[in-house]
Chain A
């Protein structure tokens, strides 16, 4: 009997120690706190929390020992920084452990849809702008609005234009994990050598002029629009004053004649020789490591620019450095860049419907977005942090590791001043158009002997889009 009592007492004491330690560290985001610090006598469990309570305060220790699953698509750097950040969170809140599951982009979405079908989504998942609407429609994501209202998830330093990108029908389903903007990354070593100044907010005419000059002097070509991506069609359409390229009503927003101008530009570029044709793109691909920008020993396959996103500058510069190339950054070309340009979330974090402890998941989500120390560990790998105060506070640490970072931040600041609200999330049928008419027309006009006129290409895209939109009404 004595033994049992002793055991009982011992376990009560240990329990209360853990509870105190956890409760205490819950208020601080500074240094990891030892669970043993407030080891006074066996204080009643409630007291510690009561003294620390403030409106909206949440004590993660109340969740007990828990392992949160966190899935994201990854590259090696992202795996490292995210693991470090989550280990740091565990060191702050020892009862919160993580099951981290990085995967590659394509497999990630297979995995997530499979897990969704068996009600087995992770607690926290990385999200993409293209998928949010679909996931919300299926009820897979948690609406964060109540947690924003009670102060558990802070969004007051996130710019309005960024915050709305994670909203669907008035609900907040995803928070921006890093800001991004479309960017033309270019071989600055080459343009400097030729005495070319690549301007900010580059217009189409300037872009053509530079491309021609480089082609005339070096035989090096230009990459513009290709493959099953509508990015440049979108950018062109936006420069005309439309907000979107896709439309659920009419298929695409612009008219056939307007879109024909876009295709005529490609046909002209191919005819004049400065634009890289389909066969050359196919032969080399456009993956970062083997980008045709680095194929200078083969001028007919090489280009001076890459149509990418600002968070890819670091990776491209890393690959470029092995060739002794410095990479510059400007916007995608358009007649009116301010109308066309937009800021995008490179990716989001969401709490899912299947989260075991939704309060705790939101608490951790808030740390990932707003905590300065956590973001110092995340190294802005996903893009510049969305909350302006966090972006400023992490600047030096990230810049020390990644020399291109100040350039990206400066570029994004310029974009903020020179951009319009982002387009609506793509409709579900957009993938069919992308793999259908968009790809076919690109393949047809990017040939030295084109098989379509600009008018035909534009008509083909408009027709298929209309058909798809009608079918999906």
Chain B
């Protein structure tokens, strides 16, 4: 019986490992290809491990565009992703607190509005948003990519934090109220410390989404010195000419590093955040 279970476990793990490998293969292929000499990448596409290791792709790729190295592009991406993420966290948690704990007129309508932003595809908003930002004179700046997120525009995060707050016993609020806390005090002293796991979940998702965001950079950024990484990477390829795929893979690999590090550090809280918000919500 026990032996049977062990065999079952082994088979299960082998199958899962194969599945995982299939999933991660494209990524591994890119990472290993970035260490191949660029002209051999497609000639040896079927073989993953390079026969000849080289760092040339990283050196040529890092040179970037014109006089701007990839250091500039990484810094730009950080500014955008951090700016938007901090804004999202602050605004979403305040809104979530209000919708979950306070009573005020039109609360249901406002909640429906928040939910509807989750259901509306971003592409539909693109044109009106662009015209609006253009009239504000924000085109060519980072404002359109950062400032809107300071107004809790991502319903998903509001909803996530709301569920999490819902899981916190109301008795804690009441105790704080008896001790003389205002609504702001309750939020700052009771709610905020307790929703940290869900804030971390939101932070990770927000950061990854902003880091990967290509389209708004394409629409709003007007000079190379302001390019984020996603946009700089795209200029490496041209299907009508020969492209430096080696350099592109090398820089793509580097662009994954920040996200991977953030994910590894906060992974535990991420899972915790999703799990507990799921159960208690």
Cβ of A118 under 8 Å from chain B: yes
On chain B, the residues within 8 Å of A114 by CB distance are: 130, 219
Q: Which residue of A lies closest to B65 (CB)?
A: A79
> How far does the Cβ of B219 sit from chain A's closest Cβ, in whole Å?
6
Which of the 9-residue segments B3-11, B27-35, B233-241, B266-274 touches chain A? B233-241
Q: Which one of A43-51, A147-155, A312-320, A406-414 is at the B interface?
A: A312-320
Against B, the Cβ 8 Å flags (1 = close, 0 = not) of A305-331 are 000000010011011001100000000
Q: Determine whether the beta carbon of A322 is less than 8 Å from that of B243.
A: no
Shortest Cβ distance from residue A226 to the other chain B in the assembled complex, whole angstroms: 15
Chain B 64-98: CB-based contact to A (< 8 A → 1; otherwise 0): 01100000000000000000000000000000000
Q: What 0/1 readout, one digit per residue, does chain B (31-47) give for beta carbons within 8 Å of chain A?
A: 00000000110110000
- A79 adjacent to B235 (CB under 8 Å): yes
Task: Find chain B residues with CB under 8 A from A69 CB.
Answer: 222-223
Size class of the A contact interface (CB-based, 8 Å): 35 or more
- Is there an interface contact between B242 and A288, defined as CB atoms closer than 8 Å? yes
Is there a chain A Cβ closer than 8 Å to B244's Cβ? yes
Q: Are B65 and A289 in contact (CB under 8 A)?
A: no
B239-251 near A? 1/0 per residue, CB < 8 Å: 1111111010000
Given contacts A99-B223, A102-B65, A105-B238, 19 further A-B contacts (CB under 8 A): A69-B222, A74-B238, A75-B242, A76-B235, A78-B241, A79-B65, A79-B235, A101-B222, A101-B223, A102-B224, A104-B235, A110-B218, A117-B131, A118-B134, A120-B222, A287-B239, A289-B242, A289-B243, A290-B42
Q: Is there contact, CB below 8 Å, between B139 and A120? A: yes
Selected contact of A323 from candidates B43, B139, B223, CB within 8 Å: B43
In contact, A104 and B237 (Cβ under 8 angstroms): yes
The answer to whether the Cβ of A260 comes within 8 Å of any Cβ in the partner chain is: no
The answer to whether A76 touches B244 (Cβ under 8 A) is yes
Task: Determine if A104 and B66 form an interchain contact, defined as CB atoms under 8 angstroms apart.
Answer: no
A103/B235 in contact, CB under 8 A: yes
Alpha-carbon gap, A120 to B135, bound state (A) = 12
With contact pairs A289-B42, A318-B242 given, residues A76 and B218 touching in the complex (Cβ less than 8 Å) = no
Q: In this assembly, does A443 line the interface, its C-beta being within 8 Å of a C-beta of chain B?
A: no
Q: Which residues of B contact A110 (CB under 8 A)?
A: 218-219
Q: List 16 A-B contacts (CB under 8 A).
A: A75-B242, A76-B247, A102-B235, A103-B234, A105-B240, A107-B218, A107-B234, A120-B139, A120-B140, A288-B239, A288-B241, A312-B240, A312-B241, A319-B242, A322-B39, A322-B40
Q: Residues on B close to A: CB < 8 A?
A: 39-40, 42-43, 65-66, 130-131, 134, 139-140, 218-219, 222-224, 234-245, 247
Please judge, given known A-B contacts A289-B42, A289-B245, whether A74 and B134 are in contact too, CB under 8 Å. no
Per the 8 Å Cβ criterion, residues 113-137 of A in contact with B are 114-115, 117-118, 120
Q: Closest residue to B126 on the A side, CB-wise?
A: A114
A399 located at the interface, meaning its Cβ lies under 8 Å from any Cβ of chain B in the complex: no
Of B40, B130, B222, B241, most A-chain CB atoms within 10 Å:
B241
- What residue in chain B is nearest A317 (Cβ atoms)? B242
The 4 A-B residue pairs with the shortest CB-CB distance, nearest first, are A75-B238, A315-B242, A75-B241, A118-B134
At the interface, yes or no: A294 with Cβ under 8 Å from chain B?
Answer: yes
Q: Which residue of A lies closest to B127 (CB)?
A: A117
B39: chain A residues at CB < 8 Å are 319, 322
Give the complex CA separation of A75 and B247 in angstroms: 13
Shortest B149–chain A CB gap in Å is 21
Contact of A76 with B243 in the complex, beta carbons under 8 Å: yes
How far does the alpha carbon of A79 sit from the alpha carbon of B234 in the complex, in Å? Answer: 13
- Per the bound structure, the CA–CA distance linking A316 and B241 in Å amounts to 8
